Each structure stands twice: as C-alpha cells, then as structure tokens.
C-alpha cells in the first residue's frame, strides 16, 4: 500500500472520529478552520541562467556576420569577422623589414665565413674574428626580432574573428554588418545556460521561500496546472524592496526570453474554511450549501467559493471565503 493511500485512510479515520465525537453523521460535515498552504499567484519571467557577450577583440569594420536572432550556436563557433585595413599594411611593412634583416644576416654570415678562413691562415687577428662573429650574431637577432613583429601583426589580424563564448541561442545582434566597431565592443548576446523562471517577490514574501521548494506553473487564462518547477536559487540582494528568485522547470514550453508566465508559490500556512466540493450546489450561477438547523431542519445559504485546496483527508476540498463559520454543520444535498 502506498504512503498516499495510508495517509488517506488515516485522515478519513480521524475525520470519522471527529464526527462521532461531535454527534455529526457521516452524511454531514462540521465546518472548522484548518491550516492550509498559503499560495500566491505571481508573474514570472522566462530568463537564462547566464547571458554571454560575443565581443570584438580588435577594432575595425564588421565585414562578416553569420548569425541572426534566434539562431543556435556552439561554443567556439565563428559568428562574425572584423577587418582592419591598417593591419594588412602593417604586415606588408613587416614583410619588408624581415626581407631586409634576412639580407643583412646573409651578408654578415658570408663575412664571418671569409674572416674565419683568413683567420685560420693567419691573415686576420683574433680581434677581427670576434668582431665578425658579433656582427653575425647581431644580424641574427635583428632577423628574429623582425620575424616576431611580423608574426604579432599576423596574429593581431587573425583576431578579427568573433567567436561564440558559449553554446546557446542568439537573443540579440547588437551591430549590423558594415558597422565600425572598437576593441571590446559587444556584437551579440547569447544565452549561456538553461532556461528558467525568474520571480520578483517582495522581501517579506521571499523570506518564506526555501531552495528546493516546488512552484506550480499555471495556464495563461486559468489556474490549470501546466507544469511543475523547483526553486533553484534565492538571490541575497534586495532591489527596490524585491528579491529575485530562480526556479527551474523540467520542460519549459517556450523559447521566448522575457516572456511572462503565471506561477503559484507557497508562502507558509494560513487559516481557512475548507469543505468537500460535493456539499456545494450551484443554481443560477450561485453556490449554495445546506446548513443544518435545530432538529432535522436545513436551510440553504449562499456561499462564496474560493480556490480548490486538496488536503490529505479531503482531495476535493474547496475554500469558502464567506457564508460559513466554524461550528456550522452541513448536510449533503
């Protein structure tokens, strides 16, 4: 037997014991105030856990844009190209410097070879040999420096590619193709995490929430339950009297970042009058219950129906906002 069935049987037994002690028959129901979950319906916004910015690493002109809003991209995927014409000219300038340094190194190396040959024949002194060796070493260092400068220029030009910092959906393209951008400017915004619901609650209500607590996703036009979520994070910051709360939903049926949805959250408990739904009769759009009087007499009184509140011993419970008080005895119609 499941725990739910055991709780139902125990609750029914307890309710029967109450009826027996109060002299109320099984076809009657004694009205009492009960502790029920205090649920509030609030608006939540579909958001991403994190938002990433795809930024340009160099300044120049945006010559290529390979994405649009709504596209899905992978981490490291190239989404745009920035080109700076000055970098190409600088690279050509460094090419000329490398060629000049290479020619100077070749000449110094040839001079060193001739000097070494004459030194071995005793024509030149050791000082001349050392001088040529130093000149060759200097030319080699100058060639290495020129090659390094050219490589740095080529690498800087290669950094014109803009890559997706995370896998996700492009929510906004901030710069159109052909625009001039500066280093560090954001080109696009990309979701960098799971979609979730972000609630903004007054700080007093937020204090009643706990991480791991359930939240219920409701329909747009009714209180029909369309999904279930779990509170994932409560942010420790109060802004204009409100606290942000993130709730994860297993299957969030939307891809629209910023869409507003209705959710119900439980904020502790409160006292309420709850009766079984089958004690209510509807006539001409008005809810009535049969109220027991002295003896076997009953009268019908109108009541104001609230939201359904299923309890362990009353799965079809309905909250009554007005028309009844604790101690009243109802008779099934």
pLDDT (tens digit per residue) in 140-153: 998 899 889 888 88
State residue 255's pLDDT score.
67
Mean pLDDT throughout 227-254? 86
What fold is seen in the domain 51-81+162-192?
A: OB fold (Dihydrolipoamide Acetyltransferase, E2P) (2.40.50)
In the predicted structure, residue 7 carries a pLDDT above the cut 60: no
| Confidence category of residue 316, pLDDT binned at 50, 70, 90 | confident
User: CA-CA distance, 112 to 118, in Å (whole number)?
Assistant: 10
10-19, 214-223, 298-307: segment of lowest average pLDDT: 10-19
Would you state the structure tokens that stand for residue 91, as one six-digit string?
């690279």
Q: How far apart are CA 275 and CA 78, in angstroms?
A: 62
Instruction: Note the pLDDT of residue 25.
Output: 58
Query: What per-residue confidence (pLDDT) applies to 186?
Result: 93
Percent of the chain scoring above 70 in pLDDT: 91
List CB contacts of 53: < 8 A, sequence separation 6 or more: 165, 186, 188, 189, 190
What are 34's strand-pairing partners? 272
pLDDT reported for residue 111: 85
- Reduce the secondary structure of 111-136 to three states and give it as a string: HHHHHHHHHHCCCCCHHHHHHHHHHH
The domains spanning 51-81+162-192 and 85-159 adopt the same CATH topology: no
pLDDT, one tens digit per residue, over 75-115 is 999 999 998 888 778 888 888 988 998 998 898 888 888 88
Whether this prediction's pTM lies above 0.95 is answered by: no
Question: What confidence category does residue 168 fall into, taking pLDDT thresholds of 50, 70 and 90?
Answer: confident
- Please state, in angstroms and rounded to a whole number, the distance separating the CA atoms of residues 313 and 13: 9
pLDDT greater than 70 at residue 2: no
Residue 9: is its pLDDT beyond 70? no
Q: Count CB neighbours of 303 within 10 A.
A: 22
N residues, the chain: 333
Confidence band, pLDDT 50/70/90 cuts, at residue 286: very high
DSSP string, 210-221: -TT-EEEEE-SS
At 26 the pLDDT is: 57
Which residues are bridge partners to 36 per DSSP? 270
* Cβ-proximal residues to 241 (8 Å cutoff; 6+ apart), any chain: 202, 203
d(CA 140, CA 332): 105
Q: Please, where are the H alpha helices in 164-238?
A: 203-206
Higher pLDDT, 83 or 21: 83
Give the single-character DSSP code of 160. Answer: T
- Say how far residue 85 (Cα) sits from the centre of its chain: 39
Spell out the domain ranges in the chain: 3-48+194-331, 51-81+162-192, 85-159
Task: Spell out the alpha helix ranges (H) of 79-217.
Answer: 85-120, 126-158, 203-206
pLDDT of residue 254: 67
Per CATH, which fold does 85-159 belong to?
Answer: Helix Hairpins (1.10.287)
CATH number at 3-48+194-331: 2.40.30.170
Mean pLDDT of 123-135: 84
């Amino acid at each position: 037997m499941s725990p739910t069935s055991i709780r139902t049987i125990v609750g029914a037994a307890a309710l029967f014991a109450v009826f027996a002690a109060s002299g109320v028959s099984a076809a009657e129901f004694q009205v009492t105030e009960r502790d029920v979950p205090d649920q509030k319906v609030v608006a939540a916004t579909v958001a991403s856990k994190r938002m990433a910015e795809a930024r340009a690493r160099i300044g120049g002109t945006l010559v290529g844009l390979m994405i649009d809003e709504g596209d899905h991209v992978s981490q490291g995927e190239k989404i745009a190209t920035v080109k700076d014409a000055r970098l190409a000219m600088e690279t050509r300038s460094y090419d000329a410097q490398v060629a000049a340094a290479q020619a100077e190194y070749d000449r110094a190396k040839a001079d060193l070879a001739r000097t070494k040959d004459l030194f071995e024949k005793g024509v030149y002194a050791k000082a001349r040999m050392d001088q040529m060796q130093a000149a060759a070493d200097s030319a080699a260092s100058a060639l290495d420096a020129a090659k390094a400068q050219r490589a740095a220029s080529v690498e800087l030009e290669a950094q014109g590619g803009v890559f997706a910092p995370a896998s996700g959906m492009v929510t906004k393209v901030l710069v159109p193709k052909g625009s001039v951008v500066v280093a560090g400017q954001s080109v696009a915004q990309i979701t960098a995490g799971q979609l979730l619901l972000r609630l903004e609650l007054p700080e007093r209500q937020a204090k009643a929430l706990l991480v791991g607590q359930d939240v219920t996703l409701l329909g747009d036009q009714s209180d029909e339950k369309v999904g279930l979520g779990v509170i994932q994070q409560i942010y420790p910051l109060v802004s204009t009297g409100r606290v942000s709360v993130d709730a994860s939903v297993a299957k969030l049926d939307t891809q629209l970042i910023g869409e507003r949805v209705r959710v119900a959250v439980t904020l502790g408990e409160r006292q309420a009058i709850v009766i079984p739904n089958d004690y209510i009769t509807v006539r001409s759009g008005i809810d009535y219950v049969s109220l027991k009087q002295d003896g076997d007499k009953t009268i019908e009184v109108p009541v104001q129906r609230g939201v359904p509140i299923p309890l362990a011993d009353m799965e079809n419970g309905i909250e009554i906002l007005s028309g009844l008080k604790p101690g009243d005895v109802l008779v099934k119609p």
